[in-house]
Structure 1
Amino acid sequence: MTQHLTIVNHPLVQHKLSLMREKETSTAVFRQLLREISQLLAYEVTRELPMTTKEIETPLEKMDAPVLAGRKLALISILRAGNGLLDGMLELIPSARVGFVGLYRDEKTLQPVKYYFKVPENLSERLVIVVDPMLATGNSSAAAVQMLKDAGATNIRFLCLLAAPEGVARMKEAHPDVPIVTASVDTRLNEKGYILPGLGDAGDRMFGTR
């Protein structure tokens, strides 16, 4: 994956995203749509996984069959909203190793504050996919990626549902080697750092805490 930004414009992705944006969409439906859309986005972000072959036996004969190569990939959720994308992706990639980065945004400075960090071993030998529904200011995402690099990760991709131009620019400045896969780059951020038109606070809508 060479380009820095990939927008997944598949019709199913865009349709489900529109349903999620509607303010009348219930918590249960929002959560289900996020699970479904995460699998479609996971298809794109894992498109270039390394492959090898192994000999298997079908009911008719032996063959050299394509299988994934190397260590199991690592899915890293930026808490708490990242878990919504994580759940759907794990259904598609159940053997993945999982880690968590806990960050919250200081409402006055908009800067990230770390409160939890637990990730798999041997990150340097794994493809690491960081998941968070919203790439807003990009400060938390850039901080999380830096923590993962400090822990040894060298092959990182970032997967989000929505991005703001400011967040994309911040990530490109801080981590030009980390490709971003998203369903949409929206117009801008408001004065509170929320994406417009966006869909509100993804964590609140997912967990019913709005």
Structure 2
Amino acid sequence: MAQNVTVVDHPLVQHKLTLMRRREASTAEFRKLLREIGLFLGYEALRDLPLGKIDIETPVCPMEAPVLAGKKLTFISVLRAGDGLLGPMLDLVPSARVGQIGLARDEETLQPTKYFFKVPVDTADRLNVVLDPMLATGHSAVRAVQEIKDIGAKDLRFVCLLAAPEGIKTFTDAHPDVPVVTASIDERLNEKAYIVPGLGDAGDRLFGTKGA
């Protein structure tokens, strides 16, 4: 495994991920579980946020207490499935800025094309956490991070629910400076570039659009 990749192997995360993988899991259950796992992923991705000190008074006495320091961070969702991780991230940091990148995969070339890009103007001065549940081929993740780097961002992290070894290699080769946090690195990609064993199309399962 690449040095800059963290797998959150907490028992609760692995249990909830198993429930998500099941074919019979409903849309409502899938959403709920993704939100719950997203909190664990967020805790890990943000574990080294800088802290400052402020003076407060508890019911017992005054004290100097820790608070987050520096500029508010930015969560950047890779549309559309990335929005499933955006909710739990904002639960953790409600004051964070939000960006979105729309990337569509060409089913023949498997390469992403950009159709939407909107992020805070001062992204270069912030920690930027890119969100996309599936790191399959890695092409979309590589493109998304590069788009953000191209406007000056220097401090980035990538959070996903599942990853394939092929996607991990593609991503870390392209962006060795960007840490990856995931709940699982699965076995491989199949001939259609789906993660195996995986959980199917995260966007379709999240939004209930399979077959639509």
Common fold: TM-score over 0.5: yes
CA-CA distance at 1:3 after TM superposition:
4.2
Instruction: Please give the alpha-carbon distance, in whole angstroms, between the structure 2 residues aligned to 1:152 and 1:67.
Output: 27
Structure 2 stretches of 5 or more lacking a match?
none
Instruction: Please give the alpha-carbon distance, in whole angstroms, between the structure 2 residues aligned to 1:89 and 1:51.
Output: 18
2:43 maps to 1:43 = yes
Instruction: Please give the alpha-carbon distance, in whole angstroms, between the structure 2 residues aligned to 1:16 and 1:61.
Output: 41
- Normalised TM-score (structure 1): 0.98
User: Residue 188 of structure 1 corresponds to which residue in structure 2?
Assistant: 188
Deviations 1:153-209 (A, max 9, x none): 100000000000000000111100000000000000011110000000000000001
Equivalent residue runs for 1:2-151 within 5 Å: 3-151=3-151
Change (3 A) 1:3 1:61: farther
Deviations 1:38-81 (A, max 9, x none): 01110110001011111112222221100111001100000000
- Normalised TM-score (structure 2): 0.97
Deviations 1:11-40 (A, max 9, x none): 110000000000000001001111111011
- Counting aligned pairs with the same residue, the percent is 65
User: Residue 164 of structure 1 corresponds to which residue in structure 2?
Assistant: 164
Instruction: Please give the alpha-carbon distance, in whole angstroms, between the structure 2 residues aligned to 1:121 and 1:74.
Output: 11
Structure 1 stretches of 5 or more lacking a match?
none
CA-CA distance at 1:107 after TM superposition:
0.2
Deviations 1:87-136 (A, max 9, x none): 11111111110000000100000000000000012112211100000000
Amino acid at match of 1:80: R
Instruction: Please give the alpha-carbon distance, in whole angstroms, between the structure 2 residues aligned to 1:48 and 1:69.
Output: 11
Amino acid at match of 1:66: P
Instruction: Please give the alpha-carbon distance, in whole angstroms, between the structure 2 residues aligned to 1:49 and 1:3.
Output: 20
User: Residue 179 of structure 1 corresponds to which residue in structure 2?
Assistant: 179
User: Residue 152 of structure 2 corresponds to which residue in structure 1?
Assistant: 152
Report the secondary structure of 2:158's partner residue: strand
Instruction: Please give the alpha-carbon distance, in whole angstroms, between the structure 2 residues aligned to 1:132 and 1:33.
Output: 15
Amino acid at match of 1:131: L
Report the secondary structure of 1:142's partner residue: helix
Equivalent residue pairs, number: 209
Which moves more between the two structures, 5-14 or 57-66?
57-66
User: Residue 209 of structure 1 corresponds to which residue in structure 2?
Assistant: 209
Amino acid at match of 2:174: A
Instruction: Please give the alpha-carbon distance, in whole angstroms, between the structure 2 residues aligned to 1:194 and 1:112.
Output: 15
Instruction: Please give the alpha-carbon distance, in whole angstroms, between the structure 1 residues aligned to 2:4 and 2:116.
Output: 28
Report the secondary structure of 2:56's partner residue: strand
Instruction: Please give the alpha-carbon distance, in whole angstroms, between the structure 1 residues aligned to 2:183 and 2:33.
Output: 13
Instruction: Please give the alpha-carbon distance, in whole angstroms, between the structure 2 residues aligned to 1:93 and 1:19.
Output: 26
Question: Where do 4+ consecutive residues of structure 1 move more than 2 Å?
Answer: none
Instruction: Please give the alpha-carbon distance, in whole angstroms, between the structure 2 residues aligned to 1:94 and 1:182.
Output: 22
